[in-house]
Chain A
Amino acid sequence: MNFLLEKQLNLLDYALASLWRRKLKNLGIMSVFAGVICLVASFQFLTASLTATAQDLLAEAPEIVVQQMSAGRQEALPLSYLSSLEELNGVRTVAPRIWGYYFSEISGANYTVLAVDPSVMPKGDRLFQAVEGQLPSGPGEAVLGSGVAADLKLAGRRSFSLFRPDLTLKPMQMVGVFKPDTDLLTADLIYTTPDAARDLFAIPADHCTDLCVYVANPREIGTIAKKISVILPGTRVLTRPQISQTYRVVFGWRSGFASICLLSALAAFVILAWDKASGLSAEEKREIAILKVLGWQTGDILLLRCWESLIAAGLAWLLGCTAAYLHVFWLGGALFKPVMLGWSVIHPQLRLLPVVSTADLLLIFTMSVVPYLAATVIPAWRAAITPPDAAIR
């Protein structure tokens, strides 16, 4: 047992010395490899974390959302639908929402303007807990998301104006700001009264943007959603499970940027593996031949190569994954942020739930270390079985 351990330690020492002899090349390969692993792992950590955060924060999203569709687009929905839905068995509450986007010509930012009557919403009586200040009640009063408040540059003022569709000014009054902890949901939000939102968007008094439907028994969400789509043809009915599943898919490996990252990582790796697999250098072949002349067996040489590859790839994997964690959860995914936020003017603070699963780490290990081992050991085996005198010549 001691002999076997001593042999492996000696082989490890020799492998490390061999790596150090060609330190420039090996450190270069390791750095590039660690960088590629860091990129892939960062993406995996970020998407897993965003998905987990979405699952957690949106667990209490509306049970059913009903939208009116016309010519393939969403449009305002008549409030007369409200009574049809309230008559359905199993429906607890129906809450009309008025919401839409407001583009600020000054800063180029997009705000989301939302109005809902909190008295008909679940936990509406506790909304004040998410707000610093008051809730809107009077005409034109609004609670602003932190991003909107910063973008409007109010500098101590409370009043601001927004343009209606006919370019007349709608005076607004800030009465509160959403707490920073809600930033991931409310950074671009202007929450106001239904009357003010209707006035701003020129939505008729008998219309709203969509309806939130809450049911008595959550297990009946699917059944009631089907009934709604039958009694209100021309509407799109979205359920909470669908909303929740959206975020499992939207950040998936199929998203475009992920493909680019993966392709670039894979391309870099293929080049590396091809370089290794295309054959050892003359110097490396001579070294193997000398080792065989000195009495090393083919198995010993393969073990040596395994150690060399395992040290290089294993260290690259460890460093890459550690760097990816720091990048995503300490630096807020700084490398991906420009692509993830695009031309957004309002940048919410990414407070993400740190999620690193063993499955992700094993997936990255399997994608990186195992192929590298195979790509380096096979040419070493081919060199080790050639006669030493032929290799030295």
Chain B
Amino acid sequence: MRPSLLLALLLLAIGILDVGLLLQSGQQRAAWPVRMASAGIATEALGLTDLCIATEARYTRHPAVSDPLAPFMDHPGGLEHFPTGSFWAYPWQHLRGASL
């Protein structure tokens, strides 16, 4: 068997896997509005503003409504020390530049 044929078979196998994953993600996206209907109701009825992903610090639990200086304002000279602070960027430029 030619080596190029082996490569083609390998690419075909990866391709089939990727197409399967693509179809599955399409199904999930199609089912999303039905699945998340109750989440939409909760957002509107409770006036929720943020996703609940990280709950350790208020500026990563509620980045949309927390104080602009929250990571550094617990005490004078206070440093941001929560691990999630390294993953979540505070939207400085957006809030400074955004027009009401």
Interface on A for B, CB 8 Å cutoff?
Answer: 9, 12-13, 16-17, 20, 50, 53-54, 56-62, 65, 67, 72-74, 95, 97, 101, 109-110, 112, 114, 116, 118, 121-124, 126-127, 129-130, 145, 147, 178-179, 181-189, 191, 210, 212, 222, 225-226, 229, 237-239, 241-243, 245-252, 254-258, 260, 311, 315, 318-319, 322, 325-326, 329, 336, 338-346, 348, 350-351, 353-354, 356
Contacts of A112 in B (CB 8 A): 52, 55, 61-62
Cα–Cα distance between A239 and B55 once the two chains are bound (Å): 23
Taking a contact as CB atoms under 8 Å apart, the answer to whether B3 and A16 are in contact is: yes
Per-residue interface assignment for chain B, residues 7 to 46, with 1 indicating a CB less than 8 Å from any chain A CB and 0 otherwise:
1001100100110011011001100100111111111111
Instruction: Encode contact with A along B75-100: 1 for CB under 8 Å, 0 otherwise.
Output: 00000001111111111011100111
Please give me the residue from chain A that is nearest to B50 by CB atom. A58
- B66: chain A residues within 8 A (beta carbon): 74
Cβ–Cβ contact A249 & B91, under 8 A: yes
Kindly state the interface size class of chain B when it binds its partner: 35 or more
Residues of B within 8 A of A184 (CB): 39, 51-53
The answer to whether A342 and B25 touch (CB under 8 A), given A123-B41, A188-B61, is no
Q: Are A344 and B25 in contact (CB under 8 A)?
A: no
Residue on A nearest B15 in the bound complex, by CB: A318
When the two chains form their complex, are residues A60 and B65 in contact, meaning their CB atoms are under 8 A apart? no
Tell me the smallest distance from the CB of A129 to a CB of chain B, in Å: 5
Known: A242-B64, A247-B51, A322-B21. A185 touches B89 (CB 8 A): no
Is there contact, CB below 8 Å, between B100 and A212? no
Q: What are 9 A-B interface contacts by the 8 Å CB criterion? A: A118-B45, A182-B39, A185-B42, A185-B52, A191-B46, A242-B98, A246-B95, A250-B89, A348-B52
Instruction: Given A13-B2, A186-B52, A340-B84, verify A181-B64 contact (CB < 8 Å).
Output: no
* Given known A-B contacts A57-B43, A256-B86, A353-B29, A185 and B51 have beta carbons under 8 A apart: yes
B7 touches A16 (CB 8 A): yes
Inter-chain contact B53/A50, CB cutoff 8 Å: yes
Query: Please, which residues of chain A bring their CB within 8 A of the CB of B65?
Result: 65, 67, 210, 238, 243
Q: Which residues of B contact A212 (CB under 8 A)?
A: 47
Residues of A within 8 A of B52 (CB): 112, 145, 147, 183-189, 346, 348
Whether the Cβ atoms of A350 and B53 lie closer than 8 Å is yes
* Cross-chain contact of B46 among A54, A114, A329 (Cβ < 8 A): A114
Given A72-B69, A182-B38, A322-B21, CB of A342 within 8 Å of CB of B45:
no
